[in-house]
Chains A and B, each alone.
Chain A
Amino acid sequence: MMESNPDAIFDCLYIGKRLQRKINDFSMYEIQFFSYFSCLLSLYDGNPVESWNYSFIRTEFGSPYSIEIHKSIQILTSGEFLREQKDISGYYAFTPKGVEYLNYFQAAMQSISWRKKYLDTACTSISLLPYGDIKEAINSEPVLNSARHSQKRNLLLDSNPATKVLYSQFKALRTALEDKYTDLIVPATVWIDALNKEKNEFV
């Protein structure tokens, strides 16, 4: 029996539900990607990286990956909360049991509800911006971009100079938006557009 991380389990369920509503199903990569994006938004909001309760490394292709998310998808699939799509491998959808479980989780685990703000914002961005724009932007944010050119695989370590560049961007973004917006969706979408427009300016 694999040991589960409740935060990662919740994130898989919550992101999966949002993605399924928007694009019919979701893959392991997409859950990993949007959980990483959510974690970045939590950092933007001033939370320390440890508070996310699981960490990320980069894959050999430079995309974000968390073993906790990987294990959670496996647990949820073997427990029949999620099922793998029949038409093409690697994509998942909810079973009715999975929907019930998410509802139960949300009601029972109040301590986890703070994460919803970040998961919601990351997932809402695909309603407001082209999916490809979000993918391109996050792949070129300072930490992932730097990791692609480095031997180090751990992402978001405070000792990493790229993490400092990321925090510097966030500080500049907050200053630019003058704290006018309570909804994180504004910094999220502005940051994505900015990363895409000037991919090479910051790093």
Chain B
Amino acid sequence: MIIDQRQVQYFKAVAAEQYVPMILQDYGGDKGDLLAFFTDTITDIYRHLQYNTFKTVTIYTALAEESFLSRHVPSTIVINGYENLSPLRGDSIVIEVKPTGELQYLIDFELDIGLVRANAISYRFTKALEQEVIFGKASERRLRSIPDADSYFAIQTYKDLDVALEDYSTKLARHSECAHLRDVWFDESRIFFKARPEHILRDSLTQFLKGRVRNSEVRPEQIVDRTHPVDIKVTWSLAPHLALIEIKWLGKSLMQRGKSFKQIYNRQRALDGAKQLSDYLDENRRQAPVKTTKGYLVIYDGRRWGCNSTTTTVTRVNGLRYENDNIIYDPDYHSIRSDFARPIRFFLEPIMTG
């Protein structure tokens, strides 16, 4: 078989960026299980530790006595249950994970990684940089940032789509906490959308659901029939269920400051979306009668009060004017048909001046 040298180079480049080969090369090929134990322990720690209250969180496991935390400080505190991490507060925390699962920690102590890295697998979260790093003996690998996740090693998964959508609303959409949503605005004030933001909103929600809803396949822009593409389709594998998600946005979109708005969408847009979804569901019933289908209308609400196309700042009162302005649907499809989920509105906050 001929070896594709381009592929070889590509794999080499990927391996050079990854922390797993670095750790096994630096500390020995037999450290795979220890590494998995270490990362599982980070997951457990993040379930309890209020990590965001610390400027730095350093977690490491020593491979030799000279890297024990107790060798570098006069005294450490031993903790046996993860739940005891919850009340801990301070500027920085260092936690040593023992192979037995025991944790030793010290608060407000900045561990110099250079002192232990020759004989320890180490991890550090730095809040100011929103950065997670795994350290090898002489180099380190930065972990990819995952929007809304506590850590690369602590990403919440969901069995229930409704719960996932709720969490997306509060943890991610509200403050535009992902690259897609940060890119959806005309400028940093988040008062107006950029022109035609639909696909960015769809990609944001698709990416979130893809990595988190267990048992499912999440696909953007799926055709229900020749004339009906739905924004996102979620199918549950090996189960006769599917969800169709229709996305609409409310607010104003702008291409150029001072020029007229590209689009202005108000509550009528949401009502139109509900009608559209109801029609999709009827069509889908004809196309896929054996699947139990549920339709979800998702509204991204970026409405602001008292803003024209020259507006560059918004007050708290005007920015949040529509925060609790729930839309009354008529007809209320959710009440009259069992396959129509209660419409969901994600209110997206602007950056406010006062």
A160 to B311: give the CA distance in the assembly, Å: 60
A28 within 8 A of B: yes
A172 touches B8 (CB 8 A): yes
In the assembled complex, the CB of B142 is this many whole angstroms from the nearest CB of chain A, namely 14
Residues of B within 8 A of A135 (CB): 210-211
1/0 per residue B2-19: CB within 8 Å of A?
011001111110110110
Q: Which of B1-60 contact A (CB under 8 A)?
A: 1, 3-4, 7-12, 14-15, 17-18, 20-21, 24-25, 29-30, 32-33, 35-37, 39-40, 43
Q: Which of B278-333 contact A (CB under 8 A)?
A: none
In the assembled complex, the CB of B310 is this many whole angstroms from the nearest CB of chain A, namely 42
Q: Which of A127, A136, A190, A202 meets B15, CB within 8 Å?
A: A190
A63 touches B237 (CB 8 A): yes
In the assembled complex, the CB of A56 is this many whole angstroms from the nearest CB of chain B, namely 13
B210 touches A132 (CB 8 A): yes
A194 to B39: give the CA distance in the assembly, Å: 21
B152 within 8 A of A: yes
Residue in B closest to A85 when the chains form the complex, CB atoms: B159
A176 within 8 A of B: yes
Q: Which of B20, B32, B152, B217 meets A61, CB within 8 Å?
A: B217
A1 within 8 A of B: no
A1 to B11: give the CA distance in the assembly, Å: 48
B160 touches A190 (CB 8 A): no
How many chain A residues sit at the interface, stated as a range, is 35 or more
Residues of B within 8 A of A173 (CB): 7, 11
A135 to B217: give the CA distance in the assembly, Å: 9
A127 touches B36 (CB 8 A): yes
Residues of B within 8 A of A96 (CB): none
Residue in A closest to B159 when the chains form the complex, CB atoms: A88
1/0 per residue B170-212: CB within 8 Å of A?
0000000000000000000000000000000000000000111
Q: Which of B32, B155, B235 meets A132, CB within 8 Å?
A: B155
A128 to B14: give the CA distance in the assembly, Å: 15
In the assembled complex, the CB of B15 is this many whole angstroms from the nearest CB of chain A, namely 5
Residue in A closest to B212 when the chains form the complex, CB atoms: A132
Residue in B closest to A29 when the chains form the complex, CB atoms: B237
Residue in A closest to B21 when the chains form the complex, CB atoms: A186
B146 within 8 A of A: yes
B128 within 8 A of A: no
In the assembled complex, the CB of A12 is this many whole angstroms from the nearest CB of chain B, namely 14
Q: Which of A130, A185, A194 meets B10, CB within 8 Å?
A: A194
A84 within 8 A of B: no
A61 touches B235 (CB 8 A): yes
A127 touches B214 (CB 8 A): no
A32 within 8 A of B: yes
A127 to B25: give the CA distance in the assembly, Å: 19
A182 touches B29 (CB 8 A): yes
A181 within 8 A of B: yes
Residues of A within 8 A of B149 (CB): 130
A139 to B18: give the CA distance in the assembly, Å: 21
A104 within 8 A of B: no
A151 to B211: give the CA distance in the assembly, Å: 28
Given A32-B238, A132-B155, A168-B7: A190 in contact with B21 (beta carbons within 8 A): yes
Residues of B within 8 A of A169 (CB): 7
B268 within 8 A of A: no
Residue in A closest to B217 when the chains form the complex, CB atoms: A61
A175 touches B237 (CB 8 A): no
A193 touches B18 (CB 8 A): yes
B266 within 8 A of A: no
B64 within 8 A of A: no
B238 touches A59 (CB 8 A): yes
Residue in A closest to B241 when the chains form the complex, CB atoms: A90
Residues of A within 8 A of B139 (CB): none
A167 to B11: give the CA distance in the assembly, Å: 14
1/0 per residue B235-265: CB within 8 Å of A?
1111100000000000000000000000000
A77 within 8 A of B: no
Q: Which of A142-197 contact B (CB under 8 A)?
A: 167-169, 171-173, 175-177, 180-183, 185-186, 189-191, 193-194, 197
B211 touches A133 (CB 8 A): yes
Given A168-B7, A194-B14: A88 in contact with B160 (beta carbons within 8 A): yes
In the assembled complex, the CB of B125 is this many whole angstroms from the nearest CB of chain A, namely 16
A183 touches B15 (CB 8 A): no
Residue with the greatest number of chain B CB neighbours at <10 A, chosen from A62, A65, A135, A198:
A135
Nearest 8 A-B pairs (CB), nearest first? A132-B211, A176-B11, A172-B7, A183-B32, A127-B36, A29-B237, A194-B14, A176-B12
User: CB within 8 Å of A: which residues of B?
Assistant: 1, 3-4, 7-12, 14-15, 17-18, 20-21, 24-25, 29-30, 32-33, 35-37, 39-40, 43, 146, 149, 152, 155, 157, 159-160, 210-212, 214-215, 217, 235-239
What are 9 A-B pairs at a CB distance below 8 A?
Answer: A27-B214, A90-B215, A127-B36, A128-B36, A135-B211, A175-B8, A176-B15, A185-B36, A190-B11
